[in-house]
């Protein structure tokens, strides 16, 4: 009887010997959540993809396609296509849509696209151009859609394969968007190899505050990708002298100061496109974008006069004729793999004879106050 151990005491010892998993509930919950996120990401990577189906071929044929053949003079429309407002919940310190539009109109811009992250601005005036920027990942692999009719969720917050990016761009085009790869040099978000492998985009930002590089176009055009140039401010904040005139709440001043966004010169009003005279509403701007009927401009400093865009025509002898009322420091004709085919210095006109060995030719103009890039004049088959 002295050695008898009562039942309740034995049960108590078993509980001490086998501790409950309850005290590990938080780490287990975290691991379970990570597992669910991992499975979700794997599922969307596998399901939401579009294979590379189009193989680009170098431009060939006896016909010459010039996107500027119907250009009617230099009085084009300045258009800004990449600006961020305070409409997104995680960017309340940025400027309002009305502030952005007002300041750009003061600088002679005919229209502005507000391209907030993951959404189309709710307060955007219908007269302005709809747009959104997709992608919130760390590597800054973003995609712009201009004229898109409906925003959609970023299903790839952690990782997106090339096939997934193809799916996103295909979705944008289905929703009426003109698709642009922005700031490819920012964190090397898009390498040359990736841009060659991707399909679905129609333009690349060659003029951006995060890196200017027009040679990107030659890497793509040389293999037969008829991709357009793009020039954008990628506006996040205005210069200090402009912000000081805004009637904004004190907390916005504090956040901007803590985020070191005050006191900067800013990159506004420097990079933009010029469409033909009258092409300034969403419908006509989209028509110009889709046909390459626009120029990309980069001004060298704020307050400078706008460099004048030229007339570019191809005559019956397959000669490219460039004419302008502005005298440029240089007019450059550039061909396959970025080869400089001809430089005409200190002139307002130049002529280049397209050779049978030229699959495409594009024009760069260096003015006193800025530089201008044209879209490519390409060969095509007249029977197509």
Percent of the chain with pLDDT over 90: 71
Average pLDDT across the chain, whole number: 89
Dihedral of alpha carbons 102, 107, 109, 112, sign: negative
Predicted confidence at residue 13, as pLDDT, reads 52
Predicted confidence at residue 12, as pLDDT, reads 52
Report the domain count for the chain: 2
The Cα 78–Cα 276 span in angstroms is 9
Within 8 A by CB and 6+ apart from 361, the residues are 320, 333, 334, 335, 341, 352, 354, 376, 377
Residue 349 lies in a domain: yes
Residues 41 and 124 in one domain: no
For the cut 90, the answer to whether the pLDDT of residue 205 exceeds it is yes
Residue 53 lies in a domain: no
Predicted confidence at residue 231, as pLDDT, reads 98
Residue 241 lies in a domain: yes
Residues 191 and 100 in one domain: yes
Q: Which residue has 């176009």 as its token pair?
A: 217
Q: Which residue has 């005050």 as its token pair?
A: 262
* Least trusted range by pLDDT, from 31-35, 173-177, 212-216, 243-247: 31-35
Predicted confidence at residue 73, as pLDDT, reads 72
- Could you count the other beta carbons within 10 Å of the beta carbon of residue 122? 8
Supply φ then ψ for residue 201, to 5 degrees: -90, 155
- pLDDT: is 14 or 264 the higher one? 264
Query: At 6, is the pLDDT very low, low, confident or very high (cuts 50, 70, 90)?
Result: low
Residues 208 and 352 in one domain: yes
Percent of the chain with pLDDT over 70: 92
Q: Could you tell me the CATH number of the domain that includes residue 198?
A: 3.20.20.140
The Cα 139–Cα 182 span in angstroms is 12
Average pLDDT over residues 148-162: 87
Nearest Cα residue to 181 out of 196, 293, 138? 196
Domain range for 250:
63-380
* Least trusted range by pLDDT, from 124-128, 185-189, 337-341: 124-128
For the cut 50, the answer to whether the pLDDT of residue 1 exceeds it is no
Q: Are 169 and 161 in contact (CB under 8 A)?
A: no
Q: Which residue has 């006193």 as its token pair?
A: 368
Residues 37 and 74 in one domain: no
In sequence order, the β-bridge partners of residue 331 are: 344, 365
Distances (CA, A) of 305 to 308, 326, 367, 377: 9, 12, 10, 28
The Cα 323–Cα 313 span in angstroms is 9
Q: Which two tokens stand for residue 207?
A: 């003029």
Residues 76 and 115 in one domain: yes
Query: At 74, is the pLDDT very low, low, confident or very high (cuts 50, 70, 90)?
Result: low
């Amino acid at each position: 009887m002295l050695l008898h151990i009562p039942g309740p005491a034995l049960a108590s010892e078993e509980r001490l010997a086998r501790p409950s998993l309850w005290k590990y509930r938080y780490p287990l919950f975290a691991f379970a959540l990570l597992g669910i996120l991992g499975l979700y990401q794997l599922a969307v990577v596998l399901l939401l993809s579009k294979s590379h189906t189009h193989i680009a071929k170098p431009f060939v044929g006896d016909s010459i396609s010039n996107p500027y053949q119907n250009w009617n003079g230099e009085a084009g429309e300045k258009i800004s296509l990449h600006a961020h407002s305070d409409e997104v919940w995680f960017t309340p310190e940025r400027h309002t849509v009305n502030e952005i539009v007002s300041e750009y109109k003061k600088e002679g811009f005919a229209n502005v696209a507000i391209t907030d992250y993951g959404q189309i601005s709710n307060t955007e005036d219908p007269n302005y151009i709809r747009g959104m920027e997709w992608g919130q990942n760390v590597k800054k692999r973003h995609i712009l859609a201009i004229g898109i009719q409906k925003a959609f969720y970023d299903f790839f917050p952690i990782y997106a394969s090339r096939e997934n990016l193809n799916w996103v761009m295909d979705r944008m085009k289905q929703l009426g968007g003109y698709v642009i790869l922005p700031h490819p040099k920012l964190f090397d978000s898009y390498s040359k190899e990736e841009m060659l492998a991707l399909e679905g985009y129609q333009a690349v930002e060659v003029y951006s505050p995060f890196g200017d590089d027009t040679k990107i176009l030659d890497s793509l055009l040389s293999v037969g990708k008829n991709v357009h140039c793009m020039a954008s401010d990628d506006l996040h904040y205005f210069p200090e002298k402009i912000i000081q005139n805004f009637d904004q709440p004190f907390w916005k001043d504090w956040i901007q100061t803590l985020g070191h966004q005050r006191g900067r010169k800013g990159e506004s009003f420097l990079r933009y496109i010029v469409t033909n005279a009258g092409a300034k509403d969403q419908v006509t701007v989209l028509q110009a974008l889709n046909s390459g009927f626009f120029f990309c401009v980069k001004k060298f400093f704020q307050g400078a006069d706008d460099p004048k865009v030229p007339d570019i025509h191809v005559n019956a002898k397959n000669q490219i004729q460039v004419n302008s009322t502005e005298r440029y420091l240089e007019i450059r004709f550039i061909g396959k793999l970025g080869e400089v085919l001809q430089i005409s210095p200190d002139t307002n006109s130049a002529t280049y004879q397209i050779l049978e060995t030229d699959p495409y030719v594009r024009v760069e103009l260096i003015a006193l106050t800025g530089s201008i890039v044209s879209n490519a004049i390409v060969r095509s088959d007249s029977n197509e």
